[in-house]
Amino acid sequence: MKFTSWGNYPKNLNSCYILSKDELPILNLPFLPYGKGRSYGDVCLTRHGCYILTSNKNFILDLDPQNLLLRVEAGVTLKTILELITKHNLFLPVVPGTQHVTVGGAIANDIHGKSHHLHGSFGNNVLSLKLTTSSGTKELCENSQEFRATIGGLGLTGLIQEAVIKLIRIPGTTISQINKVTLTVEETVSVLEELSSSYTYTVSWLDLLSQKFRAIVMGGNFTDSNTGYKKTEKPALSYPFFFKIINNVTLKILNEIYFLLNQRKHTEFLVDYKKFFFPLDIIDNWNRAYGIDGFIQWQSVLPKDAKLLKECIGIIKKSECVPCLCVLKDFGSIQPKGLLSFPQAGYTLAVDFPVSYDTFKLVEELNKFVADAHGKIYLAKDALLKKKEFLKMYPEVNDFVKYKDRNFCSDLWRRLVE
Amino acid sequence: MKRIVCFGANSDIAKALLRKLAELEPSEFFLFGRQIEELERQKNDLIVLGAKEVQCYRFDAEMKSGQNIFHNMSIDECFSVFDNADYVVLAHGYLPSKVFNDLSEAERTFYVNCLSFIYIIEKTVELFKRQGFGKLISITSVAADRGRKKLGYYAAAKAAVDSFLSAIRQSVAEYPDISIITVKPGFIVTKMTSHIRGPFPSTPEFVAKDIVSAILKNKQVVYTPWFWRYIMLAIKLVPESLFRKMNF
């Protein structure tokens, strides 16, 4: 089997793997749990190692709709969970931009979503864990230090077997969405904050390719009204092979279409939750559109200061690179539980870049900027961070090392720590 | 409500298939498998997904004359725990570590992959004839289509089941509500195959989806993924004089 990350960069074709077990075998290779391969850089890759596939551990063990609790095995995807719990009018407090991720991966990367200002990150909603390490299997509860290391622990503290997750109750499965067009960075940021007070889910889409800055800020709330809304189940399309269509020209056209389509909608309208949260899931393997060379998703969080954000966007616009799919979100002040968790109060900007020499140069510059501004780079998407910057962004790593399993290692860990 | 019986419920394909069936409608499940602890976990999963009732039994398919050589449940005992069934799924299997020159491996392969299938198929058909309806889903393999040196005993045992199924299918032709479904998966990444490499790997979920659509559309022989039908057709058409020299 071929193991890649979603960005197809870096390449790693190591093919030794085992299926998830209750005990770890004795092997002279470093292990790394592998779920759906939806993280971007090298966090889910290990050279000369052995992957532990969690796909066979996909049981939902218990659902308690009264107490809003769900106990699942680590290999269950969020899609499976959502399809089940939406029938009971329940929802996960935190969902990322795709539903094809496993619970294990969501915990190990402490993923966040559009509702950070209310629900925190995924780890904030995990109550307990079952973890298999080289020394055996144990239950971890919320306040232990080992639990904190495992949340956002990049799969290096051991193999997550089971988790108990807190759920939220929703009135219905449709989302009432509102779109607002903004034309400056300051305006975008203030509209984003304004919407955060009345909407559970907020996100903004930026167009960094057009001459003038423009953005669409979106807010959404679950609603039980279904008036004027017909649910249509569309089959997923698939991008069949690696063929690069992303470039300066096609992207400008795509951005223009997207902007025009969303600009027209002034008042609140209804959409299905899948379309609101997982717009890219309608095309399977969309990462192939970046060609065989792959792409880098760069995501950082900057302190709440529109000036810093503007400067950062300035660096991107000045470069020769093609910034595709720029997303800006607002992180609230809820502290993450994990030692290596990414979220902190501030603005988080995510941008995709096709792999090229210019991209490497730009990302290096951006990383330096973020490190100096006391921001952080998201490790689940990182492929190019330097050791020095990493230590500055994640000082808790010295604490984390104590809980890292000696038999687990990833390429990211080799690059940043060893 | 459907009553679903599954042998080898621990196998990855069965797991995926049962989940799909549980989501389809609230049903009753009878699970037979070797690892009872795993089955208990599976029970929770199926109940959460909407199953009405799930019962688990320890069952080992390595048997002689319908009696388990490890002296747990015999086939008759298995069939006495339910009085009727809509679907019977046979999903257990054993991939031998040797392909030739090991009689004990050959015996084990034939007990698990062939003889136990034949016992269960006969009992099932007897039950189906009595009740007048039912679907038997039997998972064999694309390897059954033509013996290859890399899959000696395995291919032979699967081929025997394959041929027996087609015989049974003829024998129940006068019962319109009984169908015998042969499922032939290609290379699927499961517990059984986790130590080997195969061409065009696919997932148990994909196979499960194909099986469910086969059940609903009343198909007889399903290759999954679909393209294996044509690959195997091509392999079957190769003349023996050429085939014996081929190395795959």
* Residue ranges of domains in chain B: 3-243
Contact A59 B203 (CB under 8 A): no
Residues belonging to chain A with any Cβ–Cβ distance to chain B shorter than 8 Å: 1, 15, 17-19, 53, 55-56, 58-63, 73, 83-84
Q: Which CATH class is domain B3-243?
A: alpha beta
Q: With contacts defined as CB-CB under 8 Å, which chain A residues touch B12? A: 56
What is the sign of the dihedral through the CA atoms of A157, A161, A166 and A169? Answer: positive
Res. B171 pLDDT band, cuts 50 70 90: very high
Parallel/antiparallel/unpaired status of strands B134-139 and B87-90: parallel
ipTM of the complex: 0.74
3-state helix, strand, coil in chain A (%, to 5): 30, 25, 45
Mean pLDDT of A196-212: 92
pTM of the model as a whole: 0.86
Burial A269-297 (b: 16+ CB within 10 A, else e): ebbbbbbbbbeebeeeeebbbbbeebbbb
Question: Residue B199's pLDDT is what?
Answer: 86
Question: Is residue B71 scored above 60 in pLDDT?
Answer: no
Among candidate residues B201, B131, B213, B140, the one with its CA nearest the CA of residue B172 = B131
Q: Which member of B42, B48, B194 has the closest CB to residue A18? A: B194
Q: Which CATH class is domain A60-170?
A: alpha beta
Mean pLDDT of A334-358: 93
Are B140 and B92 contacting, i.e. CB atoms less than 8 angstroms apart? no
Question: Residue B69's pLDDT is what?
Answer: 62
Question: Is residue B142 scored above 70 in pLDDT?
Answer: yes
Helix axes B116-131, B152-171, angle to 10 degrees: 20
Structural element, H or E, at residue A329: strand A324-331
Domain A174-384 part of CATH 3.40.462 = yes
Among candidate residues A99, A95, A108, the one with its CA nearest the CA of residue A33 = A108
Q: Hey, where are the domains in chain A? A: 60-170, 174-384
Q: With contacts defined as CB-CB under 8 Å, which chain B residues touch A15? A: 197
| Mean pLDDT rounded to a whole number for chain A | 91
Which of A59, A70, A71, A102 to probe the B interface (max B CBs under 10 A)? A59
